[in-house]
Amino acid sequence: MSENASPTPVAPARPPSGFPLAHARYRNYVLFALTSVFMFVGGVGLLLGVRALGQGPEAWAQYLDALGHPAVLALSLAVFGFSVYFTLRWMWIGRKIMVGRVGPVPGPPIPMAGLGLGGIALCFATGIGVLLLLGGVL
């Protein structure tokens, strides 16, 4: 393109009518984006745990005590709920990415629903593995 060419004129972006609460699809979309806030908080909580591990057994015991506080348990429950919702939606959307179908490429050998459910089952199995690792079984 020549240096003097003017940029292509585009209309300014505007939100769809009724966004973000008018339709279930919009609400679902915003809720999915909101998972990032809770998962970030969960990440900070895990980072504090790693820091306590680095500071010694006493700091670790204090960290575990803090986790048992009712407000922290309520927050952990919210983070867990949002992370499960994220996992289900991410894997359900991700099945379309995993297929990666562009143009006249043959369809996937297994149904799309199978890919989504397979991904969710993989996450469930990994979650069990994480629990076994944390609990000292593995």
- Give the footprint of other proteins on this chain (CB under 8 A): 12-15, 19-20, 29-30, 33-37, 39-40, 42-47, 49-51, 53-54, 57, 60-61, 64, 67-69, 72-73, 75-77, 79-80, 83-84, 86-87, 90-91, 94, 97, 119, 122-123, 126-131, 133-136
Shorter beta-carbon distance to other proteins: residue 69 or 101: 69
Shorter beta-carbon distance to other proteins: residue 36 or 101: 36
CA-CA distance, 57 to 64, in Å (whole number)? 11
Helices 112-134 and 70-99, packing angle to 10 deg:
140
Smallest gap from Cβ 129 to other proteins, in A, equals 7
CA-CA distance, 86 to 41, in Å (whole number)? 14
Smallest gap from Cβ 104 to other proteins, in A, equals 25
Smallest gap from Cβ 128 to other proteins, in A, equals 7
CB of 39 within 8 A of CB of 76? no
Smallest gap from Cβ 69 to other proteins, in A, equals 8
Smallest CA-to-CA distance from 120 within 82, 102, 94 is with: 94
Shorter beta-carbon distance to other proteins: residue 8 or 104: 8
Helix residue spans in 1-138 (DSSP H): 24-55, 57-67, 70-99, 112-134
CA-CA distance, 14 to 27, in Å (whole number)? 17
